[in-house]
Amino acid sequence: MSRQDGLFQAEEFGTATPTTATIIFICPYGTPIHKVGFAIRRLLRAGYHVVAYETTTAVFTDADPLILPELIARIREDIKSRIAKLTSEGVTEFGFFGSSLGSFILYNCVGRQIPEFRWGVFNTGGNIAQGMWNMPDLRQLHVARGWSLPRLEEAWAQLQWPDFGRLDGCRFVFASSRRDSIAPLGNISQYLGPMLRAGAEVTVREVPAISHRTTVIAGLWRSPQLVRMVRLLLWRHSCLARLPRVL
């Protein structure tokens, strides 16, 4: 089943069953679903059901900061609707895999927003305004419209620092590279604090890369391994929680 919206397009892959985990998969900025088909196929072969989203390039090329929160809100509502439908069909496990902009969108979907997400992979992450500003063409478009980096950071502050509520029992993995000039590995740690304080367990994994693009591709290629890792962390936590306490 596919759906088109003015800001995004969604398509389902594989078969949803009560014994199959559903992965909400959001593509990198400017990347159509068919361009990341290799990663989706790898997830399907690993036994997952995938709901993939691609987003409009206008979120940045229009140089209108109001588009990003609207995009996130619309995708979030579509995800909620799909999860409700899949839950009614017996599906019980939902996770996510987001890359670049897709990672940031899903960062605004966890916790109180979509409590069904107990695990997920953020394929790169960090400051959305700084990341966009590090792309010369997009920076030029925003400067032409009178925007500066501090103003963009102010406009997107609520998205950059969302209120997660409680994340107890949630497990997340961030994949990044220190050679990523758009969203470098070293910038991730400051955004982990709110998640950790909310009760989540967060792991950071470095992938071999020489740029933001190759970092994203490396993470996409490793998507089955990264998903397996985060699900194993959740499974171990569940097993430990069931063990009897020894006084």
DSSP letters, 161-179, are S------TT-EEEEEE-TT
Confidence (pLDDT) at 237: 57
Q: Are 56 and 8 within 8 A, CB to CB?
A: yes
Whether 71 contacts 55, CB under 8 Å: yes
Q: Facing residues of 54 across strands?
A: 9
Q: Does the domain at residues 2-242 carry the CATH identifier 3.30.420.40?
A: no
Per DSSP bridges, beta strands 94-99 and 2-4 are unpaired
* Nearest alpha carbon to residue 96 among 118, 124, 111, 126: 118
Domain boundaries of the chain, sorted by first residue: 2-242
12 contacts 44 by C-beta, under 8 angstroms:
no
pLDDT band at residue 215 using 50, 70 and 90 as cut-offs: very high
Q: For residues 187 and 130, what is the distance between their CA atoms, to the nearest angstrom? A: 10
- Is 241's pLDDT higher than 80? no
What is the percent of the chain with per-residue pLDDT over 70, rounded to a whole number?
Answer: 93
Cβ atoms 164, 110 nearer than 8 A? yes
Q: DSSP per residue over 80-92, as a string? A: HHHHHHHHHTT--
Q: What's the CA angle centered on 141, arms 56 and 60, to 5 degrees?
A: 20
26-40, 49-63, 65-79, 226-240, range with the lowest pLDDT: 226-240
| 117-123 and 201-206 strand pairing | unpaired
Average of per-residue pLDDT values in the chain? 93
d(CA 46, CA 90): 20
For 159-192, the pLDDT digits (tens) are 999 999 999 999 999 999 999 999 989 888 888 8
